[in-house]
Amino acid sequence: MAQTLEIIKKQQGEEHWDEPYYVNMGPQHPSTHGVLRLFLELDGETIVRCDPRIGYLHRGVEKLSEHRTYAQAMTLTDRLDYIASAANNVGYCLAVEKLMGLEVPRRAQIIRVIVCEMARIASHLLWLATHALDIGAMTVFLYCFRDREWLLDIFEEICGARLTVSYPRLGGVRLDFTQEIIDELYRFTDEFPRRIPEYETLIDVNRIWLKRTVGVGKVSAEEAINLGLTGPSLRGSGVAYDLRRHQPYLVYDELDFEVAVEYGCDVYSRYRVRMKEMREANKIIRQCLDLLKECEGEPVLAEGAPDLLMPFGKMKAPQAAPHPKRGFVVKGVEVPVVPEGEVYFAIEAPKGELGYYIVSDGTGHPWRVRIRAPSFVHISALPALSEGQMVADIVAVIGSVDIVLGECDR
Amino acid sequence: MLAVEKLQERFPEEIIEVFESAGQTVVVVRREKIVDILNFLHGDVELLFDHLADLTAIDWLGKKTPRFEVVYTLYSIRYKQYLRIKAQVPEDDPRLPSVTSIWKTANWFEREVYDMFGLVFEGHPDLRRLLMPEDWEGYPLRKDYPLFLEPDKEWPVYRELREKARELARFDWYPTLIEHDQAEEVTEEEGHGANA
């Protein structure tokens, strides 16, 4: 201490001795979960200003979607939140179906719910693994990845892809579940509730974990709403805003599950919310598997579902010739592929509220696709969460809002 | 819908059009008093639109006369309802007031709209480009911006970077490029030999 004071005394004589210290954190920093760059202004170890700079993964998904048909643009949504790609696909399909007024068969709806909740568990497992690794708990990482592999194997069994699934289609899903998949899911839902306490015993009452998380990154409920936080990050501040309950889509209104809410407003309560959510997601999958039994053998694709080879422009529907004797030429009438209009549809993705705002002009490709990504908003809230905290805590804060840069930059 | 009735009562001259699309209510308004309108919706105890779900813009090039529309998607967590407000912005004067004073989350949304459409939000605390590099020219999500840029119009920094990489490829550890260069040199020498 005395030594430090002496150094400070010596430096005081110099000209810019109390200038702020600038740190560039990222874009290659391992704890930024991708290519996030944080421009930090430090006073000692306290963060005075935090300025996130994004765009390193910008691929122009919104612009690309305008130049593709609705069916082709769905594969682009895989690459947003690549950890839970199934939830992105389902959100996009629901938005387009609402625009088209398409009714999805019940079996397909149940399957979509199962796929969404599997994606939620997979996403939360990866979140827990990396968040714990950032703070210093190595073992949790290995446990979580063991179980995530199991889920990814089931995804591979369902549709052939592990990460970018593209499994839902406009009007349903690609393939029905086979009996092996259902059996495997029953095994998973039996086993998984016993796996969660394994992670919790490692970190839940760990003194280091508590010191790093309790009381860090506090945000009150009102400010969290004002900052636009959604999903588990908002529910950690005591606001029970869950789109599965607020605006029920698919078959969520028939299911029995609890919205996880914690009132601590800090990093620790956001962690508790996600642990609760994994249990609830497991419960939902179990109920959906029972529901699947009731509609055995029903179709999984709606009859009016658009073809995968959608026309890019407007469709020409054949029309009867005005008079049978005036020649064989049948003139076509232009029919909109997707009716003109606009829709905003949001689902509860693992990270938060994932909204699709689609404007159609009647052709086979959208006029405008806007993706309201939860990670984008959560990163914009990082300055409010981290300013005034210690520089070491920003790693915990970034982890607690659960960001994926593929979704943020789009 | 109660919100629309209240808006029509409070701001009768500002509202241009009210319509429904796919079961969702849309209110088209003038841009001048957008802050007052949104502040009213945010603060009114019977409406309480406290969550700004989305803020974006649409470019109606060749379809509608005021070329741009800024879209505010509001959600009331208390009353569980959506409302969409659209503000019309003409092409020759692309300005409208910022709503960052009401929602902090509007900060980055507006920066993104500025970055992608070139609409200027007056009163924004920090209006910079967000996703594109700072020295990027043009606004990518406008309809007259091409999907593929012509080679001579591409970003100068990227061109410099590529030339630099080509220059430094000779010192690379990976042998492929060097072999390629050497092969070219050898053929040239052979060619000279044959000519001589």
- How are beta strands B95-97 and B120-122 bridged, if at all? parallel
Query: Which pLDDT does position B196 carry in this prediction?
Result: 41
Read off the pTM: 0.85
The model's confidence at residue A124, banded by pLDDT at 50, 70 and 90, is very high
Q: How many domains does chain A have?
A: 1
Is the CB of residue B50 less than 8 Å away from at least one CB of chain A?
yes
DSSP character for A160? S
Cβ atoms of B116 and B140 within 8 Å: the answer is yes
CATH 3.30.460.80 at B2-145, yes or no: yes
What type of residue sits at position A173? Answer: V
Residue A155 has pLDDT above 60, yes or no: yes
Residue A121 has pLDDT above 90, yes or no: yes
The model's confidence at residue A323, banded by pLDDT at 50, 70 and 90, is low
Query: Which pLDDT does position B191 carry in this prediction?
Result: 45
Beta bridge partners of residue A31, listed in sequence order: none
Query: Which pLDDT does position A101 carry in this prediction?
Result: 85
Query: Which pLDDT does position B194 carry in this prediction?
Result: 43
Quote the crossing angle between the two packed helices A106-135 and A267-294, to the nearest 10°. Answer: 150
What type of residue sits at position A198? Answer: E
C-alpha separations of A410 from A77, A207, B79 in Å: 9, 38, 31
- Mean pLDDT for chain A overall: 85
- In-domain check, residue A52: no
- Domain locations in chain B as residue ranges: 2-145, 146-196
Q: Which of A53-67, A389-403, B172-186 has the lowest mean pLDDT?
A: B172-186
**Encoded tokens for B99:** 């709503």
Residue A392 has pLDDT above 50, yes or no: yes
Residue B179 has pLDDT above 60, yes or no: no
Cβ atoms of A112 and A291 within 8 Å: the answer is no
Is the CB of residue B39 less than 8 Å away from at least one CB of chain A?
no
Residue B149 has pLDDT above 90, yes or no: no
Query: Which pLDDT does position B78 carry in this prediction?
Result: 87
- In-domain check, residue A167: yes
Query: Which pLDDT does position A186 carry in this prediction?
Result: 92
Nearest residue to A212 via CA among A390, A8, A33: A390
Residue A312 has pLDDT above 90, yes or no: no
User: A191 vs chain B: nearest CA distance in angstroms?
Assistant: 36
Q: Which of A21-30, A72-81, A319-328, B108-117 has the lowest mean pLDDT?
A: A319-328
Residue A76 has pLDDT above 80, yes or no: yes
Digit-coded pLDDT (tens) for A328-374 = 444 566 677 778 888 999 999 898 899 999 998 888 888 999 999 99
A residues 206-235 lying closer than 8 A (beta carbon) to B: 223, 225-228, 230
User: A157 vs chain B: nearest CA distance in angstroms?
Assistant: 36
Per-position DSSP letters for A173-228, written without gaps between them:
ESSPPPHHHHHHHHHHHHHHHHHHHHHHHHHTT-HHHHHHHTTSS---HHHHHHHT
Per-position DSSP letters for A256-316, written without gaps between them:
----------SHHHHHHHHHHHHHHHHHHHHHHHHHHHHTTT--SB-TTPPPSS--SS-EE
Contact B54 A409 (CB under 8 A): no
**Encoded tokens for A231:** 């999903």
Query: Which pLDDT does position B176 carry in this prediction?
Result: 57
Number of alpha carbons in the 13 Å side-chain half-sphere of residue B96: 30
Is the CB of residue A262 less than 8 Å away from at least one CB of chain B?
no
Stretch B98-113: mean pLDDT: 90
> Cβ contacts (< 8 Å) between A346 and chain B: which residues?
53
The model's confidence at residue A327, banded by pLDDT at 50, 70 and 90, is very low
A385, burial (CB in 10 Å: exposed 0-12, middle 13-18, buried 19+): buried
Query: Which pLDDT does position A318 carry in this prediction?
Result: 59
Q: Which of A22-26, A28-32, A160-164, B3-7 has the lowest mean pLDDT?
A: A28-32
> Cβ contacts (< 8 Å) between A55 and chain B: which residues?
130-133
d(CA A202, CA A136): 12
Residue A211 has pLDDT above 90, yes or no: no
> Cβ contacts (< 8 Å) between B74 and chain A: which residues?
none
Stretch A314-324: mean pLDDT: 62
What CATH number is associated with residue A148? 1.10.645.10
Cβ atoms of A407 and A142 within 8 Å: the answer is no
The model's confidence at residue A316, banded by pLDDT at 50, 70 and 90, is low
Q: What is the extent of the structural domain holding A130?
A: 82-305
Query: Which pLDDT does position B195 carry in this prediction?
Result: 45
Q: What is the interface pTM, i.e. ipTM, of the complex? A: 0.83
